[in-house]
Chain A
Amino acid sequence: MSKITCQCGHENPFGTVLCERCGRPQTEEAKKSKLIDMRYEGSARRSQTYKKSIVDKIWNFFSSVKIGVSIIIVVLATSAIGTLFPQKLFVPAVREVDIAAYYEKHYGTAGVLYYKLGFYDMYNSWWFITLIGMLGISIIIASIDRVIPLYKSLKKQRTKRHVSFMRRQRIYGLGTVADADMSMTKAEEKLKALRYKVKTEDGAILAERGRFSRWGPYVNHTGLIIFLLGVLLRGLPGFYVDETLWLREGETRAIPGAPGYYLENNQFILDTYSKEDDAVFSQAIDRVGTIVSNYQSDVTLYKETESGLPGQSEQLEFVKDYSIIVNKPLNFDGFNVFQMDYQLDELKSMTFQLTEKASDTSLGEFTVDLINPEPTYRLGEGTYVELKDFYPDFDGMEDGEPKSKSPIPNNPAFIFKMVTPAKPDGEMSFVEIRHTLETEMNDYKATFLSAETRDATGLVIRKDKTLYILLLGGIIFMIGVAQGSYWNHRRIWIQKGEGDELFVAGHTNKNWFGLKKDLDKVKDFANLPLYEDRQDAESSSDEVKGDNS
């Protein structure tokens, strides 16, 4: 494509609206307009210039802010719909059928629709992820499309601008002053005092301040892209570990996801606020009831010694003791262990007594460890109880067979075979906590005496190598957004015309109020001609009348 040569002699790239050097309008449209569009300095953007090939079309699609904003709005709206009812994640069910039933039970027809449309797992759906991906592409392309031409034209801008450029600025004034040279010198002095970078050229002043704020949007977009890349990386193996570990008091287990590390639960503590110790809160405690003040797991961390064989728990080396509480995870080797859940008073063991029914005499007691039950319990000569079957979490019969819901001993049930010298063949008995079932009339029974309980703690193990990438993205975003929001790029042009005539023009990317305040100071000090804000019909008259400073 051919270059556009401006009257000033500068060669502009094809598609330029305002000459990079002198600011003269280059297109018919710009020449006709009263105020010129100063966004991106009227530079040649790829998306505005090339529109033919497929690549152009894709580029133009994603570089459009209209498209970008539309994607934002769609993400926003779908995210909102996703909060209408709880997401799948928060539903206490695992099987799809149960999840569907949950939505129907709690939210009726709307719930069924919500489930059927897939809104119950909105944020993991392919189309939501696609939308985020499109947003990322849009951010990259839209930024590149703008930042390069903007950089070039700001770099090439000349101090002396053509009158046609000045005349089309939002802030513009033309007038005759007493002594133009004097005003120019004083204006330069004042502008420097206001910390503007001042350049002069042949009866023209360009005062500029805060140009770096123009890069703010591109810096913050870079931060966002880094953040999104970080999120993407979590999909790769080794970057991200997320495991759960239930640990009973006294137990030592290998930490899932962290090979070679073991954790022992010494004690789990749950504290609540009391009206005596926390008197200021007594009203709140009265209203709400019990309020928990602390969940805590006192643990010991071990590491497998290098010489030891994997899985051999004798070869453990003490690393440290730690109390994991909410907000204070245990940290080691890039892993974090969080206090997430607990189970109080989980059954540990149950003690039974073997009794002869008729005489009500005891033949001895035995204790069943509910985690590692033994197959037989010897009570004396020829007397023993065999544990034929064990259901830790008994959940009724299915096809005539007892079944267990989970391996956690919430509702233990046993099938005992009781052997005594009188009954060497043994008698079978099905024992639940408050219930005994016999197939035939037995002479003996196992009666429940007592149970021992202990607490279990629910821990979550995380390792996230992407965190630093995400944090870096966040920091860069914040720098960029602050740079673009708290500073602005102000430019003031002052030029000599015929005789003692002076042109004044100003532009800022934001905060026109601040620019006008600066310009007023310069105007009063250097006796510049009055200017007007051509977008403010209301106060321009006021400004003329009034003393605004």
Chain B
Amino acid sequence: MELASLSANLLLVSFIAYLVATMFFGGAVKGTNSEATYQNNRWGNIAIVITIIGFISHLGYFVLRWIATGHGQAPVSNMFEFTTAFGMMIVGAFILLFFIYRTPSLGLFALPLAVIIIGYASMFPRELSPLIPALQSYWLTVHVITAAIGEAILAISAVAGLVYLLKNIDLTKKSKQRFWLESVMFTLILVVGFILSSSTFAVMGYEAKFTYVNQNEQQAQVVYNYPPLFGMNEYESLTPDKMTPLAEMPAIVNGKTLTTLVWSVATGIVLYLLLRLILRRPVATLFQPFAKKANSQVMDEIGYRSVLIGFPVFTLGALIFAMIWAHEAWSRFWGWDPKEVWALITWLFYAAYLHLRLSRGWEGKKSAWLAVIGFIIIMFNLIAVNLIIAGLHSYA
């Protein structure tokens, strides 16, 4: 148990390190005027050192947890473990690209993304869990780690794309692009809304228990960690002192998921509106000054380069290794399981990105938008496919 708690502390250290490093990257960007001075600036150097310390601590979390489980496979077998590892790999991918291009603007946006992702991961059960038979294979380690590294490198492409867009979209005038950029900001705020509301009720220790009748007309139990807005089908409360649901849902709708969703979205909207009230302009404008110093050409290049580096890794991990393992564990290399299909969709999407860029000259804004959409697909595969669409990969 000691190993496990030490590992949890290391994760906390890395979380804080990323936050601090973000501020130093901010200082690096703020304090410089031109591209030349911006590259080897003291703030930037401190920031990358802190990032690396955070990354090493994060790696420490990973290794200790690996040892603590004792089942021999890497700790990537449920939502918390995978998402945390994914955050780590995003930081790793950022460090790699930082040393090629030396641009602090990238860190200023990549690290907060990693912070949000780790925060999101922590909303899921964190205890050590044993492996079900299907996962007892070294392919778990090989397939998941390779796929996650690929996805993390592809995520950096989206970060570079976002910086590019923030810099190059005119936010003073109404336009479609401004609307969509603001929507991306809004989505990020929604995730923060989920983390905030979920951790608030978790700290309060909120729990409401119900019995209900599920889709197969069987009695089942459910525990809500949010005040229940929507009840499950034919629910009956086991904790009468807690809030009574406002409405009962039919069996095909999961009232608990809907409750979590509505709470998170509501918190996100309130946060967003508060920001708008304070700022009196699009939230994107808050971040724009930090992107202004970046060189568009370099950001475009990083965006493209990270797809080039990430795409083969993703193919190897998420398709080829996946197929080899699927053949061994499930007797078929491909079975149109939703997770498989979404990995294929991601792959096809980046294939389209590469073809559009190579042959049709989609560079700059178009390419940046594609990178952002690609990341949305990756996150959809991580979040929605695991939590909403039922399939063989629903482990969380």
Q: Mark B292-334, 1 if CB is under 8 A from A, else 0.
A: 0001111001001100110110011000100100011111110
Is the beta-carbon distance between A547 and B70 smaller than 8 angstroms?
A: no
User: B215, B309, B329, B342: which contacts A485 (Cβ < 8 A)?
Assistant: B309
Is the beta-carbon distance between B252 and A107 smaller than 8 angstroms?
A: yes
Q: Which of A23-31, A78-86, A302-310 contacts B (4 or more CB under 8 A)?
A: A78-86
Is the beta-carbon distance between A281 and B128 smaller than 8 angstroms?
A: yes
Q: How far is the CA of A123 from the CA of B337 in the complex (A)?
A: 11
Q: Which of A51-59, A397-405, A510-518 contacts B (4 or more CB under 8 A)?
A: A510-518
Q: How far is the CA of A293 from the CA of B358 in the complex (A)?
A: 49
Q: Mark B73-114, 1 if CB is under 8 A from A, else 0.
A: 000000000000000000000000000110000000000000
Contact A295 B128, CB 8 Å, known A83-B341, A123-B336: no
Is the beta-carbon distance between A292 and B133 smaller than 8 angstroms?
A: yes
Q: Which of B154-162, B191-199, B267-275, B349-357 contacts A (4 or more CB under 8 A)?
A: B349-357
Q: Mark A481-514, 1 if CB is under 8 A from B, else 0.
A: 1100110000000000000000000000011110
What residues on B are CB-neighbors of A460 within 8 Å?
Answer: 331
For residue A108, give the distance in angstroms from its CB to the closest CB of chain B: 6
Contact A69 B352, CB 8 Å, known A281-B129, A326-B133, A512-B301: yes
What residues on A are CB-neighbors of B320 within 8 Å?
Answer: 474, 478
Query: Does any Cβ of B come within 8 Å of A408's Cβ?
Result: no
What residues on A are CB-neighbors of B296 within 8 Å?
Answer: 536, 538
Contact A284 B316, CB 8 Å, known A86-B390, A538-B297, A542-B35: no
Is the beta-carbon distance between A287 and B328 smaller than 8 angstroms?
A: no
Is the beta-carbon distance between B70 and A280 smaller than 8 angstroms?
A: yes
Q: Mark B209-252, 1 if CB is under 8 A from A, else 0.
A: 00000010000000000000000000000000000000000001
Q: How far is the CA of A539 from the CA of B297 in the complex (A)?
A: 8
Residue of B whose beta carbon sits closest to that of A294: B133
Contact A536 B297, CB 8 Å, known A340-B331, A511-B305: yes
Is the beta-carbon distance between A76 and B301 smaller than 8 angstroms?
A: no
Is the beta-carbon distance between A462 and B345 smaller than 8 angstroms?
A: no
Query: Does any Cβ of B come within 8 Å of A352's Cβ?
Result: no
What residues on A are CB-neighbors of B131 within 8 Å?
Answer: 293
What residues on B are CB-neighbors of A106 within 8 Å?
Answer: 215, 252
Is the beta-carbon distance between A538 and B295 smaller than 8 angstroms?
A: yes
Residue of B whose beta carbon sits closest to that of A92: B216
Residue of B whose beta carbon sits closest to that of A285: B130
Is the beta-carbon distance between A329 and B328 smaller than 8 angstroms?
A: yes
Q: Mark A189-218, 1 if CB is under 8 A from B, else 0.
A: 000000000000000000000000000010
Query: Does any Cβ of B come within 8 Å of A8's Cβ?
Result: no
Query: Does any Cβ of B come within 8 Å of A451's Cβ?
Result: no
Q: Which of A84, A123, A327, A545 has the most C-beta atoms of chain B within 10 angstroms of its own C-beta?
A: A327
Residue of A whose beta carbon sits closest to that of B131: A293
For residue A239, give the distance in angstroms from its CB to the closest CB of chain B: 14
Is the beta-carbon distance between B136 and A327 smaller than 8 angstroms?
A: yes
What residues on B are CB-neighbors of A107 within 8 Å?
Answer: 252
Q: How far is the CA of A533 from the CA of B300 in the complex (A)?
A: 14
Is the beta-carbon distance between A325 and B133 smaller than 8 angstroms?
A: yes
Is the beta-carbon distance between A293 and B4 smaller than 8 angstroms?
A: no
Interface residues of B in 105-154 (CB under 8 A from A): 125, 127-134, 136-137, 139
Query: Does any Cβ of A come within 8 Å of B348's Cβ?
Result: yes
User: A295, A462, A542: which contacts B133 (Cβ < 8 A)?
Assistant: A295
Query: Does any Cβ of A come within 8 Å of B338's Cβ?
Result: yes
For residue B356, give the distance in angstroms from its CB to the closest CB of chain A: 6
Query: Does any Cβ of A come within 8 Å of B258's Cβ?
Result: no
Is the beta-carbon distance between B311 and A65 smaller than 8 angstroms?
A: no
Residue of A whose beta carbon sits closest to that of B294: A538
Is the beta-carbon distance between A478 and B128 smaller than 8 angstroms?
A: no
Q: Mark A318-332, 1 if CB is under 8 A from B, else 0.
A: 000000011111000
Residue of B whose beta carbon sits closest to that of A512: B301
Interface residues of A in 90-130 (CB under 8 A from B): 90, 105-108, 123
What residues on A are CB-neighbors of B304 within 8 Å?
Answer: 510
Is the beta-carbon distance between B332 and A462 smaller than 8 angstroms?
A: yes
Is the beta-carbon distance between A329 and B331 smaller than 8 angstroms?
A: yes
What residues on A are CB-neighbors of B133 within 8 Å?
Answer: 292-295, 325-327
Is the beta-carbon distance between B132 and A291 smaller than 8 angstroms?
A: yes
Query: Does any Cβ of A come within 8 Å of B23's Cβ?
Result: no
Query: Does any Cβ of B come within 8 Å of A372's Cβ?
Result: no
User: A217, A281, A481, A542: which contacts B315 (Cβ < 8 A)?
Assistant: A481
Q: How far is the CA of A535 from the CA of B100 in the complex (A)?
A: 21
Query: Does any Cβ of B come within 8 Å of A87's Cβ?
Result: yes
Is the beta-carbon distance between B298 and A513 smaller than 8 angstroms?
A: yes
Is the beta-carbon distance between A326 and B329 smaller than 8 angstroms?
A: yes
Is the beta-carbon distance between A72 and B351 smaller than 8 angstroms?
A: yes
What residues on B are CB-neighbors of A287 within 8 Å?
Answer: 125, 127
Is the beta-carbon distance between B130 and A273 smaller than 8 angstroms?
A: yes
Residue of B whose beta carbon sits closest to that of A484: B308
Is the beta-carbon distance between A73 and B352 smaller than 8 angstroms?
A: yes
What residues on A are CB-neighbors of B130 within 8 Å?
Answer: 273, 278, 281, 284-285, 291, 293
Q: Mark A263-292, 1 if CB is under 8 A from B, else 0.
A: 000000000010000101101110110011
Residue of B whose beta carbon sits closest to that of A110: B252
Q: How far is the CA of A261 from the CA of B234 in the complex (A)?
A: 53
Query: Does any Cβ of A come within 8 Å of B277's Cβ?
Result: no
Query: Does any Cβ of A come within 8 Å of B68's Cβ?
Result: yes
Query: Does any Cβ of A come within 8 Å of B359's Cβ?
Result: yes
User: A278, A281, A283, A510: which contacts B308 (Cβ < 8 A)?
Assistant: A510
Is the beta-carbon distance between A66 and B333 smaller than 8 angstroms?
A: no
What residues on A are CB-neighbors of B359 within 8 Å?
Answer: 39, 65
Is the beta-carbon distance between A72 and B301 smaller than 8 angstroms?
A: no
Contact A280 B69, CB 8 Å, known A72-B352, A338-B331, A460-B331: yes
Query: Does any Cβ of B come within 8 Å of A42's Cβ?
Result: no
What residues on B are CB-neighbors of A336 within 8 Å?
Answer: 331
Query: Does any Cβ of A come within 8 Å of B183's Cβ?
Result: no
Query: Does any Cβ of B come within 8 Å of A228's Cβ?
Result: no
Query: Does any Cβ of B come within 8 Å of A467's Cβ?
Result: yes
Is the beta-carbon distance between B36 and A478 smaller than 8 angstroms?
A: no
Query: Does any Cβ of A come within 8 Å of B344's Cβ?
Result: yes
Query: Does any Cβ of A come within 8 Å of B278's Cβ?
Result: no
Query: Does any Cβ of B come within 8 Å of A422's Cβ?
Result: no
Is the beta-carbon distance between A65 and B329 smaller than 8 angstroms?
A: no
What residues on A are CB-neighbors of B266 within 8 Å?
Answer: none
Given contacts A106-B215, A470-B333, 9 further A-B contacts (CB under 8 A): A66-B360, A280-B68, A284-B125, A336-B331, A340-B330, A467-B327, A478-B320, A536-B295, A539-B295
Closest 8 CB pairs of A and B: A546-B36, A283-B127, A284-B129, A65-B359, A326-B133, A536-B297, A338-B331, A83-B338
Q: List 24 A-B contacts (CB under 8 A).
A: A65-B356, A69-B356, A72-B351, A72-B355, A73-B352, A79-B344, A79-B345, A83-B342, A280-B70, A281-B130, A284-B129, A292-B133, A293-B131, A294-B133, A326-B329, A329-B328, A336-B331, A340-B330, A340-B331, A467-B333, A510-B304, A511-B308, A513-B100, A545-B36
Interface positions of B (Cβ within 8 A of A): 1, 4, 34-36, 68-70, 100-101, 125, 127-134, 136-137, 139, 215, 252, 295-298, 301, 304-305, 308-309, 311-312, 315-316, 320, 323, 327-333, 335-336, 338, 341-342, 344-345, 348-349, 351-352, 355-356, 358-360, 385, 389-391
Interface positions of A (Cβ within 8 A of B): 39, 65-66, 68-69, 72-73, 75-76, 79-80, 82-84, 86-87, 89-90, 105-108, 123, 217, 242, 273, 278, 280-281, 283-285, 287-288, 291-295, 325-329, 336, 338, 340, 460, 462, 467, 470, 474, 477-478, 481-482, 485-486, 510-513, 533, 535-536, 538-539, 542, 545-548
